[in-house]
Amino acid sequence: MSRDERVSREAQLDEKQAPALIKSLSSSEPPKPPESQDVIYLSDLEVSLDKQINTLDFMLVPDDDLPRDWAGPFVERCVGRDPETQKMRIVKLRAKNVPIEPWMVMQYLGSVIKDHQSVHTNSVVVSRRRWGYVFDRFYIDPRTKKKHERCCLVTDRVHQAALMYEKFVDKCSRKPLARIRRLKGAMGQLLDDPMYKVIGANEGDYRDLKRLFERNFLNKPQDELADDVGLKMLVGNV
């Protein structure tokens, strides 16, 4: 291609690009702001890993019947410090994956933003020992495929009863009774909405938990089941 032909072709290209250049220069659209340096975009792998970690699905249960050459998974437990080296001594127990059933999961029904908390926590005292629970997991109900937020794994029924119910004294009879914990309003008043629920529980399960609470946490257990506003709300929402 000669020099004159190349110059002529470049001129034709400039003529075609000129209207687009003029249009872009005359447009009044503001330029896009630069991306913030505080933002980190997660990859698909990181998103899937986060869902796997933060969603209750399986739990590890120690099983001594597994073969000696078990490749995993394992449950690690601390048995104290070595008296000479002062290092932690860890025992690896052979374990297997067991699916988490809906009756093992409790859900906090309040709002952590409204309560000025980042994560809702609570604790129960059983046999002079305090157990803490953090409601920061998701759970997908295998029956309805519904995803529940602010959940916690609570496998002990006595602990479920301690979280689900609270002690109060009847003003007329002066007897200690059990009632479902309820959320509090802005002024500290009790609302009709219950604080917790057990995923997959029905009315009979809540009454069993109430009997467990009366048997383990009340000074004088009562056989009568008084009308409970929180129980009516839970049964109505099942």
pLDDT for 229: 65
Alpha-carbon distance of 148 to 104, in angstroms, equals 13
Which of 169-181 are b and which e, b meaning 16 or more Cβ less than 10 Å from the residue's Cβ? eeeeeeebbbbbb
The percent of residues in the chain predicted with pLDDT above 90, rounded, is 32
pLDDT band at 185, cuts 50/70/90? confident
pLDDT in tens, 95-104: 998 999 999 9
Contact 127, 90 (CB under 8 A): no
Per the CB < 8 A criterion, the answer to whether 218 and 167 are in contact is: yes
> What's phi and psi for 63, nearest 5 deg?
-145, 110
For the record, the structure tokens of 77 come out as 């437990």
3-state secondary structure of 147: strand
Q: Cα(11)–Cα(145) distance, rounded to whole angstroms?
A: 64
Q: Which residue in the block uniquely carries the two structure tokens 């990181």?
A: 46
Write down the pLDDT at residue 177.
Answer: 84
Taking phi over 0 as left and psi of -120 to 50 as alpha, with beta for the rest, 184 belongs to beta
Q: Contact, 218 vs 178, CB < 8 A?
A: yes
d(CA 76, CA 90): 6
Residue extents of the structural domains in the chain:
52-99, 102-237
> Residue 136, SS3?
coil
Interval 62-120: pLDDT, tens: 888 888 888 888 889 998 999 999 899 999 899 998 999 999 999 999 988 877 888 99
pLDDT tens for 11-51 read 555 555 556 655 665 666 666 666 666 677 777 776 776 66
Model pTM score: 0.68
Rounded CA separation 201/230 (Å) = 14
